[in-house]
Structure 1
Amino acid sequence: MKKSKLIAGLFAAVAVLSLAACGSKDSKKADGDKKTYTVGVVSDSAKEVWEQVVKDVKDEGIDLKIKQFSDYNTPNDALADGSIDLNAFQHIAFLENYNKEKGKDLTQIGFTLISPLGLYSDKLKDYKDIKDGDKIAIPNDVTNGGRALQLLNSIDVIKLKSDAPESPTVKDIDTYTKKVEIKELDASQIPAALPDVAAAVINTNYAVDAGLKPKTDALYLDTDNLDKVGDIYKNVIAVDGKNKDKEDFKKIVKAYQTDKIAELISKTSGGNDIPAWK
């Protein structure tokens, strides 16, 4: 009798342990259902927009983190080495140039916005006041620098060669209508250099972060003539090429491309940035 009770007790103990093990396994599985990803951004305004996306994808079981960078050079390196899973700071031209230079396969999976490039000055009231001998700062990366040169071409400060590429360099300048000195600086440093030059071409995110209001402070915005701004300057969400079809990333893109986010883009950029997916 005692023996049978002992055996029954052992079976009961095994059953309890088995249930506990199953419960632990199920618990781990439930915890694992929530996937964690990190998106890299550059500006304060972009961070604010993505904070809303973070909230909106929670219902999809996605835990999205935000990592903010201070320049344009490191977010793609971080994506390429797996430090982050997505980034959203660059246009197609910048992405393609990065892949070409670094031999990488970063891929765009959705449009975000198109951001104006503006000409600013602490000294001039009108871009027509630019004169011979003036210094003009532009971004030193190929794509934003190329877009800056297109801006200067459109306001007749320089004339680009007829066969200049979509992202020209200073070597593609045919003539200087105004004999200016072009200073190529890191895009993030240009707002601080504004007092030292006659005018500067500044990316909107850096302009806004520096307290400038593109709609009122810029002498000229290239998006005022949107037909002269190519699709290659539309900003995108980028991932490693091997992850381009990942379902969770498609959900993140869908959460971004909404009317709610479009309104937030307008609010955080002071009405300057334009949703690029519409």
Structure 2
Amino acid sequence: MKKWTKVTTGIVALLSVVTLAACGAKKSGADKDGVRTYVVGVASDQQKEIWTQLGKDLKKDNIKIDVKLFSGYTEENPALADGSLDLNSFQHNAWLNNYNRDNKKDLTPIGYTIISPFGLYSDKIKNPKDLKDGDVVGIPDDPANGGRSLQALDALHVIKLKDNAPDSPSVKDIVSYNTKIKIKPIQADQLVAALPDLTAAFINTNFVTDQLHTTPKKSALYIDTDHMDKVNEIYKNVIVVRKEDKDKADFKKIVKAYQTPEIAEIIKKTNDFPAWDTSK
């Protein structure tokens, strides 16, 4: 009985090794035609369209792009960290820095993609100057986009931030209120639903296009990228990988394929702007 148990255990162990090896080869190796597949996580239809086009452009390099669309911002980094994704393309440096700090991770940016306009929206007022004492302004509850909202309110002279406020300021960095508004942090993907109960709200552009079915140019009371000198560079979006993969040759090819005049034109047809130096 013990002898058969040992034999069976050995067979199971051997099969496990073979199975794991096969799975590993399928994920990170090339298929029989030498095509290498990489899974990228995105959070908007626009980015899905761009990465789908990149997949076509990279066929000549035997690179296949498998695009996974997420509905929010909370899953992409954990999925990259645990190996479910090979890359992601949804966040700016401010968001990435906060994620790495809070989760003790070292996910690494390898190339700029877009800078997305960030706007103030309202069903109740027509101009930011119409804000009055007691009005409630919704902002995303994450440090990165919440901080960007506060920088915009500072640029609008609604509040005054400390001179030495960090790149992603918080409410505690407000020195004074020129208009005594109430600032209400709300989960980013819930701000559109909450808008009827707010005086105004800062909303990420992908939720504006996907949920409000409009654009910043058509509907925003204020767009921070119309005043680029007020927008910190940490709000440029990036392609992100695990630190150990940052120098991978295929990923350098992917960045190069993204930062082309053709992709820049696709971006310009939407609400965003290329975040890399397009003059080169």
Superposed CA deviations along residues 208-242 of structure 1, whole A, max 9, x for unmatched, are 11212101211000111101111111100000000
Give the corresponding residue for 1:265: 267
Aligned AA (2:43): V
CA distance in 2, matches of 1:253, 1:116: 22
Q: Where does structure 2 lack aligned partners over 5 or more consecutive residues?
A: 1-28
CA distance 1:121–1:47, change in 2 (3 Å): same
Q: Secondary structure at the match of 1:39?
A: strand
Aligned AA (1:254): K
Superposed CA deviations along residues 95-126 of structure 1, whole A, max 9, x for unmatched, are 11111111111000100011111001111111
Give the corresponding residue for 1:13: none
CA distance 1:266–1:29, change in 2 (3 Å): closer
Aligned AA (1:230): N
Give the corresponding residue for 1:253: 255
CA distance in 2, matches of 1:247, 1:192: 43
User: Any residues of structure 2 matched to 1:79-118 within 5 Å, and which?
Assistant: 79-118=80-119
Give the corresponding residue for 2:214: 212
Identity across aligned pairs (percent)?
58
Q: How many residues align?
A: 248
CA distance in 1, matches of 2:160, 2:214: 28
Give the corresponding residue for 1:234: 236
User: How far 1:162 moved relative to its partner?
Assistant: 2.1
Aligned AA (2:119): G
Report if the CA contact (8 A) 2:51-2:65 is conserved: no
CA distance 1:109–1:231, change in 2 (3 Å): same
- Name the TM-score, length of structure 2 as normaliser: 0.86
- Name the TM-score, length of structure 1 as normaliser: 0.86
Aligned AA (1:264): I
CA distance 1:104–1:121, change in 2 (3 Å): same
Give the corresponding residue for 2:38: 37
Larger radius of gyration: 1
Give the corresponding residue for 1:168: 169
CA distance in 2, matches of 1:29, 1:73: 30
Q: Secondary structure at the match of 1:31?
A: coil
Give the corresponding residue for 1:274: 273
Give the corresponding residue for 2:48: 47
Kindly report structure 1 stretches of 4+ aligned residues shifted beyond 2 Å: none
Give the corresponding residue for 2:152: 151
CA distance in 2, matches of 1:209, 1:185: 18
Superposed CA deviations along residues 20-76 of structure 1, whole A, max 9, x for unmatched, are xxxxxxxx9861621111000001111112111111111110111011111111101
Q: Secondary structure at the match of 2:207?
A: helix
Give the corresponding residue for 1:4: none
**Range that drifts further, 123-132 or 236-245:** 123-132
CA distance 1:61–1:86, change in 2 (3 Å): same
Aligned AA (1:93): A
Superposed CA deviations along residues 106-154 of structure 1, whole A, max 9, x for unmatched, are 0001000111110011111111101111111101111110011000111
Give the corresponding residue for 1:142: 143
CA distance in 2, matches of 1:29, 1:50: 20
CA distance in 2, matches of 1:215, 1:95: 27
Pairwise CA RMSD: 1.4
CA distance 1:29–1:237, change in 2 (3 Å): closer
